[in-house]
Amino acid sequence: MRRMDVFEAMATRRSVRGFLPDPVPRAAIVSILEIAARAPSGSNVQPWKVRVTEGDEKARLSAALHAAHDAGTVTPRDYQYYPRHWREPYLSRRRKVGWDLYALAGVAKGDHAAGHAQRARNFDFFGAPVGLVFTIDRDLEQGSWLDYGMFLQSVMLAARGFGLDTCPQAAFCDHHDVLRAHLGIPAEEAVVCGMALGRADPGEPANRLATERAPLSDFVRFGPEA
């Protein structure tokens, strides 16, 4: 199998929202997590913990998550992911990617039932054969959460090296009580996110989403300000 170089992996990484059912070999999952664990962390703390779910176990978990989603029962998240008060330019970026995705998925503005159904697809891991759930000990501080982000990116890039795709999913945090019950996650661990892992379905309309990136002039300064 041809392995991508790091530049190609970074350029082709995207959040995939439709996967083929093709199984991912256990050896590939192990290799991805082993290489991702080389991510840096302050004082080599290595704050990441991962649960891998596949097959019947994943199907049972998905069924329970769907039931919670349909019932509208949301558990307060272990941490605040988004800003409490949105402002520009972040609000416009959020709205654009949301409406671009919904347009591809066929969800019309104001169609709450279709929006509910589209969000529910998170809980099937978008059809991916492998689900990953990431947790961190609650007593670790912000620096360890920064380290965790580098680990998550490393997982996604390593997956690209195997020709696989991923979707990091904060949606699971709304039902972390369900995750705890099915995956044996103790109370002293906070749920960071989930992630779908597999091969992208080329026939999935949502996979045509191409997210924009701000130009360097928006966020980079060279040298002192004039």
Segment 170-185, tens digit of pLDDT: 999 999 999 999 999 9
Contact between 148 and 48 under an 8 Å Cβ cutoff? The reply is: yes
6-75+123-208, superfamily in CATH?
NADH Oxidase (3.40.109.10)
Predicted pLDDT at 205: 97
- Say if residue 223's pLDDT is above 70: yes
Side chain identity at 83, as an amino acid letter? P
- Residue 224's pLDDT band (boundaries 50, 70, 90)? confident
pLDDT tens readout for residues 90-131: 999 999 999 999 999 999 999 999 999 999 999 999 999 999
Better-scored residue on pLDDT, 174 or 224: 174
Question: Order of strands, edge to edge, in the sheet holding 130-137?
Answer: 49-54, 130-137, 189-198, 165-169
Phi and psi for 40 in degrees, rounded to 5? -75, 150
